[in-house]
Chains A and B, each alone.
Chain A
Amino acid sequence: MNGHYMVEAFLKIRFKQLYRGLTGIGLFRIVFLVLLFAYLLLFLFASTKKQPGSLYVAAGTVFIILSLHIRRKDKLFLKTCFEKHTQIYLSEYAALASIVILFLAVHLQWIALLVLLSSIFLIARTDIKPRHLHTLNTKFQSFIPASSFEWKVGIRQSFFIFVPVWIIGFCSSFFIGSVPVALLTLGIIISGFYSQNEPYQMVILYEKSVNRFLYGKIGMQITLFGIVAFPLILIFIVFHSNKWYIPVIEFLILTSIHAYLVLTKYAFYEPNRNSQAAQIIGAIGMVSMFIPVLLPVIWALSVLFYIKSQKNLNIYLHDFH
C-alpha cells in the first residue's frame, strides 16, 4: 500500500473513532470538555513561553506519548499489515503533539521543540514491549481481596512505581511536602485502575443488586486506598501535627475522585470493550486533581453517574433486587 495513502487512511479512521467517542458523551459534556480544553490550551500557551516551563511541557508530552506507545494494542496488527507502520506512529504522535509543537515554535523555544520532535521520532521507531506482558505475582496481590481485581491488576502493572513512591513518601515524611506529593501520585496511579471494563460475567458473579454492587465497589476502593494512605497520613501528623488537615483533606478529595471514576466506569459500562466516552469523562476527574475549581462539578457528575450506572447495570443485575 502506498505510504502516503496508508497514513491518510489511518488518520481518517482515528478521526472517526474520536467522533464516535464524542457522540457517546452528549452535548452538555462536550461543551464542558471544550471549555476544559480551552483552559488547557491557555495553560500550555502560558507554560511554553519561557524555560524551564517549555522543557517541562515537552517532557510531559514525551511521557504521555511514550506511555501510549508502550500500551497500544494494535502494534502487531500494524506491523503485520503495513510495511511502513512507523510512519503511522510518527504521524499519529505528531498530530497528538501538534498544539505543543505549535506553541513551542511560536515562542521560539527551539531546544524544547528539538527535544520533543526527536523524542517522537525515536519513540515511533522503537519497538517497546509493554511490561505487563510478563506475569508479576507478588505477596501484595494475595493480600488484596479476590473481588478487587482492579487493584490486583493495577498493582501488577504499576508495582515498580507504586511501592517506591510509597516508601519514599514515608521515609521522607519529615519534609512537609513529601507525604502530600506521594499521596497525590498514588491517587493518580490508582485512578488508572478503573480504566478497563470487565466482561459481564465478572459483574454478575457477585449476585448483588445494582446498589449493593456499586456501594461494594466504592467501599472496597475507599478501604484499600485508606489502607495505603493511612500510614502516610499518620506519619505526616507525627511530624507536622499543626498541619494535620492537609493529608486528610487530600485523602478525602482523592477518594471522591476515585468514587467518581468508579461511577463513570459503570455509567458507560459496556462488556468487553472500553468506552471512549468514559475515558474522556474520567479524564475530567484526573484533571480536577490539579484544578480544584472542578471538584464541585465532579461531585455533581458523581450523583448523575450514580443514577446512570443504576440504569446501565440493571440489564445485568435485575435478577438480584
Chain B
Amino acid sequence: MISIKDLTISYDKQSTVIDSLDLSMEENSIHGIVGLNGAGKTTLLNAIYGLIKMDSGEIHRADQKITKRDISYLTTENYFYSNITGREYIGLFRNVRFDLDKWNELFSLPLDELIDHYSTGMKKKLVLLSILKQDKPVLILDEPFNGLDMETCRIIRSILLRLKEREKTIIITSHIMETLTNLCDYIHYLEYGKIVLTTDKTHFQEFEDTLFKSIENKNIGLITELID
C-alpha cells in the first residue's frame, strides 16, 4: 500500500497547492489521478517522487518511507542532454537483462541518432524505454499519452496492463478521461489540492457522468450568455 498522510505543499504562504491530502493506493494496480488544470496533479506526483519539499505529511510504501529507489518517473515534458544518442541515453540506466533492440521493435526509434533530432513523441517513447529498463516497483507517468500516435498509445496501454500483472504499481495522470477509465483500477479526483473522490472500476461510468454533468452545469450559463 502506498499511503499519503496529511500532505501539504505550498509554493508561498498564500498559495497552498496540496492541502492536507490523504490518499491510499493499493499496490499492483493502476491508479489514475484526474483533475482540472492547476488542481495540483504534477505537484502531487513530484512530492511522491521526492522532488519538492513538503510543508507537512508523510508518504510511505509498505510502511517504509518511499524513496526514488522505488520509483520511475515520466514527467510531462522531457529534457535531454544535447548531442547524446538514444542508445547512449538508455545505456546510462543499468539493467543487463534489458534487450534494448528487442524492445525497440515496438517503438522503432532511431537509437543511433542524436536525441536532438527526435520529435516530442519519440522523446516520450525513449523515456518510456528508460523506465522499462529501470524495472522499478512503482511507475509514475504524468500524461504519458500526450503527443503519441494511436498505435503507440495502444502499445503502451498493453505494456502497462502487463506490468500490473507483474506486480507493478502504476500512477498515471491524463486529461483524457477515456484513457483512464480504460486502463485504471482506481481513479482519484483531485480538486483544490485535495482528493475529493476515489472510485473503482465498477463506478467509473457513474463517476464520469457526474463529473461531466457538474462541469457542464458550472459553465453552461456563461457559455449561453456569451454565444447568445
Q: List A residues at the B interface (Cβ < 8 Å).
A: 132-133, 135, 137, 141, 146-147, 149, 152-153, 156-157, 196, 198-202, 204-205, 207, 271-272, 315-316, 318-320
Contacts and interface: CB of A to CB of B under 8 A. Distances in A.
Given A318-B50, A319-B67, A319-B68, A156 B92 contact: no
Given A205-B93, A319-B67, A149 B88 contact: yes
Interface stretch (B9-17, B76-84, B206-214): B76-84
Contact of A146 (B82, B92, B134): B92
Main SS of chain B's interface residues? loop
Contacts of B83: 132, 153, 156-157
Chain A interface SS verdict (over half): helix
Interface in B92-115: 92-93, 112-114
Contacts of B218: none
B81 A202 contact: yes
Contacts of B85: 135, 137
Contacts of B92: 146-147, 149, 202, 205
22 contacts: A137-B85, A137-B112, A146-B88, A147-B92, A149-B88, A149-B92, A152-B88, A153-B81, A153-B82, A196-B81, A196-B82, A199-B79, A199-B81, A202-B92, A205-B93, A207-B68, A271-B79, A272-B79, A315-B51, A318-B50, A319-B69, A320-B69
Contacts of B80: 199
A201 B79 CA distance: 9
B134 to A, nearest CB: 8
Contacts of B117: 133, 135
B91 interface: yes
B112 A319 contact: no
Q: Which 4 residue pairs across A and B have the least CB separation, nearest first? A: A319-B67, A272-B79, A146-B91, A199-B79
A152 B89 CA distance: 11
A57 to B, nearest CB: 31
Contact of B84 (A133, A152, A315, A320): A152
Contact of B51 (A137, A156, A200): A200
B116 interface: yes
A152 B73 CA distance: 25
Nearest to A157: B83
A135 B112 contact: yes
B79 A149 contact: no
Contacts of A146: 88, 91-92
A157 to B, nearest CB: 6
B69 to A, nearest CB: 6
Interface string B55-86: 00000000000011100010000111111110
Contacts of B73: 201
B68 A133 contact: no
A135 B114 contact: yes
Given A137-B112, A204-B68, A207-B69, A198 B50 contact: no
Given A149-B88, A207-B68, A319 B50 contact: yes
A150 B116 CA distance: 15
Given A135-B114, A149-B92, 18 more contacts: A132-B114, A133-B114, A135-B85, A135-B112, A147-B92, A153-B81, A153-B83, A199-B81, A200-B51, A202-B92, A205-B134, A271-B79, A272-B79, A315-B51, A316-B51, A318-B50, A319-B50, A320-B68
A149 B91 CA distance: 10
